A and B are shown apart, each in its own frame.
Chain A
Amino acid sequence: MSQSPIIQFEHVNFQYESQTEPTLKDINFTIQKGEKVLIAGPSGSGKSTLGKILNGMIPEDYPGELSGNITINGQSFNDLDVFKLSFEVGTVLQDPDSQFVGLTVAEDIAFALENDAKPQSEIHQRVSDWAKRLDVAEIISNHPQDISGGQKQRVSLAGVLIGDEPILLLDEPLANLDPAAGEASIELLDHLSHKEDLTVIIIEHRIEEVLHRPIDRLLLIDDGKLIANDTPNQILKSGVLTEVGLREPLYLTALRACGIEVSELPEVDELSKIELPDNGTAVLQWDVEHPIQPNSDGAEPLLEIRNLQFNYPNRSIFNNFNLTINKGEMVAIVGKNGTGKTTLSNLITGFLHPNQGEIKLAGTNLDDLSIKERAEHIGYILQDPNQMISKDMIFDEVALGLRLRGLDEEIIKEKVLSTLKVTGLYPFRNWPIRALSFGQKKRVTIASILVLDPEVMILDEPTAGQDLAHYSEIMDFLEELNRTQQLTTIFITHDMYLMLEYADRAVALSDGEIIADTLPINVLTNDDVVKAASLTHTSLQSLGTLANLENPARFAQGFVDYQKEVRHHE
């Protein structure tokens, strides 16, 4: 790689106008042309702020005090604005839906060129060229809302790459993708970075997923400071990721637990490069010592779905669908995006009505009950907290459901405060909700449902937008409720570790049918299910395979259980 710096930060500080503390403190780094860099850090560390500086949104859109020297592609930052920077840095925003401006895929790809007032014939030429390169040529006249998450991301990429900017910046590219689509996306970025001679900057906290393909350098931000700037290999060996509350690749955690000294291994950034000492005896030993605990089950049906049939005007979703959820279970529903997971929860909560079939809760048919009446028993946490929140203050938001039920204000206060305490929101109780991060808002919505004492909780993507520390906190809390109060919990997720860690049963859907209803590990051992549900194998399993274990999935489960055990003892 030729050494020519394309981005340089020298003593950069930034403080948002509305805040009393700087968000970025004395940041220094250089990125060379053609490098592929991952910027990681826990929620609120300042990594997104760094991205906003790179595309010029800071200070133009987010006023504040910016100091230090920044050079981008040979130009001083002071001479650049959003417009000039947009020729250097192409940005793919986190949520592709909000990035789409065009009415069709083609127009969205064309957007930048239209704004550059390029001749129409040239635009058509380049759009069809880029659509082919990113494999979206077939859907070029579709509406953006009618295509899959992975396709959306490829369209966003095409719309940015068409401008020929030398730097590509991606803000949490994995946030809205299912595991298989996420892998495909990382592979695509790798391919593009080689082929198009791009400098790629990825902002993400899912380190293991990004490392699915090699990256050149990892910048680790914590509390506004750059605390590591090195090859992924070096940083992984140092173990610093776990210290700042990020999840290191789980195979490394497992190796450490097996007593293998990770820092002494030559290369650890790819599982396939790891050479296990003594052919993996330590892993084998550990596996033997940690058999998984069978679940004790006294099955008492709580939620019964019988012969369910449902279709949207031009698309059939469920046809003769049957599922029983027992009291006190923690069930993970997994499967590809668009396969009916959210539709199922919408049918249970009464947001949608089935064409045929019945849904019963504790023997009562829900058919005649309104959404409100069902909500007395079933709590539903939507994926997007903004669709749930309607009050300005956290306390009022959590109290809303109780007030609608006409409870005494004294009792309300008591209940709300105790719920705020268990959800870790107590210190913020008098804050306006708009000051919270996405993850904190999500916790507010969970608190606002929990306070109503539901019998069943349905959570749609509970961990989206949460870093490890926060999501463990919420899930541990739900699990405790599940244990102590038999709260039946159903969660829809893409996160395989979440499923292994918390679910005692996994239901995998594909095209509206249940393709597996079993223990979480059994979902992952069945290759057909993994593929049909757009899941991926966990690296723990691969580690088990590497150590020649008889049942690598059981090792994965055993390890996840063990880790939880350790955390509970801390």
Chain B
Amino acid sequence: MSNDTNILGYHPGSTFFHQLNGTTKILGLVLLTLIGMISFNTWYLILLCVLSVVAFISAKIKWQEVRTLTIAIILFTLLNLVLIYAFGPNYGSALYHSRHVIIGGNSFFALTWEELFYLFNMFLKYLFAVPLVYVFLFTTNPSEFAASLNRIGIPYKISYSIAIALRYIPDVQYEFHQISLSQQARGLELSKKAHLWRRLTSSSRILIPLIFNSLDRIETVSRAMRLRRFGTRKTRTWYMNKPGSKKDWWMLGIIVGLTILGLLLFIVDSGRYFNPFK
């Protein structure tokens, strides 16, 4: 199962982003996502998009590994934009205090440049963070991530639970597959030879053993952890804790710089919105 390459998880490597500390990456992800969510300065959002694509490329993530998910996210975003338009086609005009109609004259659903520009901003906001999340997931070792979370103040029991959940996802996938196979070998038809509905309802049979097995596993693992003294002290150290290097300070500098730039633009634009229609 470890052979499966289409897993959203840590892929060992030696790129710049692999070498960065987990703390740097989580701080970068959080700060940039926040400022990107708040800001409506189009140039700034474009800059973030370009930088995050650069990060994606330099982390050497294969497009194939994320293609399906990315396409799904883009489609979902587009659907979302259509809905935003459908529910408030005049929101852009209200926001930018002007109205330049492209098509539709005076009707309620008239498409304006202002609305289109607003939707374009939204589109950038939704998408700029996606490559960053990929970079984070693909280049950050879960254990190191747990260590990072712990370092920025999250209790170690919670940090470790997150890491261990990430670690067991492939195992549970494998187990599900095994149980499904053994149920088929008892006479449950789940192949293409059965009707879709039958296959769906039959699949529910797999869940019961899967849940029981997972519960058993949780029990055994937590026992194994306690036998090696997990959870008895207030603090814990981490084998995978990486000390910050110069690279991290550089990166943090860039991240903080970008964040400050975003904040400064609020003053320049006198508010969150860059308005080209003024």
Contact = CB atoms under 8 A, between A and B. Distances in A.
Interface of A: 55, 57, 61, 82-83, 86, 91, 93, 95, 98-104, 106-107, 110-120, 123-124, 127, 143, 145-146, 159-160, 163, 312-315, 349, 351, 370-376, 379-380, 382, 386-390, 400-401, 404-405, 434, 448-449, 452
A263 B226 CA distance: 45
A390 B143 CA distance: 34
A111 B187 contact: no
Interface in B180-205: 181-191, 193, 205
Contacts of A382: 178, 182
Nearest to A370: B191
B107 interface: no
B233 A371 contact: no
B228 interface: yes
Given A114-B237, A117-B236, A146-B2, A452 B231 contact: no
A370 B184 contact: yes
B94 interface: no
B239 A83 contact: no
| Residue from B171, B229, B240 having most chain A Cβ neighbours under 10 A | B229
A459 to B, nearest CB: 13
Interface in B1-35: 1-5
A98 B221 contact: yes
B137 interface: no
A98 B227 contact: no
Interface residues of B, number: 55
A404 to B, nearest CB: 4
B277 interface: no
Nearest to B206: A390
Interface stretch (B54-62, B77-85, B124-132, B209-217): B209-217
B236 A404 contact: no
A153 to B, nearest CB: 14
A91 B2 CA distance: 27
A388 B182 contact: yes
A117 B239 contact: no
Given A118-B237, A372-B187, A375-B184, 10 more contacts: A86-B228, A93-B224, A101-B164, A103-B163, A115-B231, A116-B233, A124-B239, A351-B185, A372-B190, A390-B183
15 contacts: A86-B227, A98-B220, A101-B221, A101-B228, A115-B229, A116-B233, A117-B233, A313-B3, A313-B5, A349-B181, A371-B185, A382-B182, A386-B213, A387-B175, A388-B209
Chain A CB within 10 Å — which of B5, B164, B181, B193 has the most?
B181
A320 B187 CA distance: 31
B230 interface: yes
B189 A372 contact: yes
Interface string B223-250: 1111111111101111111000000000
A371 B187 CA distance: 8
A434 B219 CA distance: 15
Given A372-B187, A386-B209, A387-B175, A82 B241 contact: no
A419 to B, nearest CB: 14
A401 B2 CA distance: 32
B208 interface: yes
B167 interface: yes
A370 B225 contact: no
Interface in B134-179: 141-143, 163-164, 167, 171, 175, 178-179
B185 A372 contact: yes
B229 A120 contact: no
Contacts of B238: 114, 120
Contacts of B205: 390
Interface of B: 1-5, 141-143, 163-164, 167, 171, 175, 178-179, 181-191, 193, 205-206, 208-209, 212-213, 216-217, 220-221, 223-233, 235-241
A82 B185 contact: no
A102 B188 CA distance: 36
A405 B187 contact: yes
A100 B2 CA distance: 15
A387 to B, nearest CB: 5
Given A114-B237, A387-B175, A145 B5 contact: no
Contacts of A390: 179, 183, 205-206, 208-209
Contact of A387 (B163, B213, B235): B213
Nearest to B231: A115
A159 B3 CA distance: 26
A111 B189 contact: no
A404 B240 contact: no
Nearest to A82: B226
Nearest to A352: B181
B123 to A, nearest CB: 36
A57 B182 CA distance: 33
Contacts of B237: 113-114, 117-120, 123
Contacts of A123: 237, 239
Given A98-B217, A372-B191, A315 B163 contact: no
A1 B220 CA distance: 36
A160 to B, nearest CB: 7
A91 B227 contact: yes
Given A120-B238, A123-B237, A101 B225 contact: yes
Q: Which of B186, B229, B237, B238 has the most CB of A within 10 A?
A: B186
B228 A160 contact: yes
B239 A127 contact: yes
A451 B208 CA distance: 23
Which of B184, B188, B227, B230 has the most C-beta atoms of chain A within 10 angstroms of its own C-beta? B227
Given A82-B226, A98-B224, A112-B228, A375 B143 contact: no
B209 A115 contact: no
B187 A120 contact: no
Contacts of B228: 86, 101, 111-112, 115, 159-160, 163
Contacts of B164: 101
Nearest to A375: B185
A107 B239 contact: yes
Contact of A82 (B163, B182, B227): B227
A115 B236 contact: yes
B239 A114 contact: yes
Nearest to B179: A387
A358 B213 CA distance: 34
A389 B223 contact: no
Given A120-B241, A390-B208, A115 B230 contact: yes
A161 to B, nearest CB: 11
Contacts of B206: 390
Contacts of B224: 93, 98-101
A142 B225 CA distance: 20
A535 to B, nearest CB: 27
User: 8 smallest A-B Cβ distances: which pairs?
Assistant: A370-B191, A371-B184, A110-B239, A404-B187, A98-B220, A112-B228, A115-B229, A313-B3
Most buried by B among A145, A312, A313, A387: A387
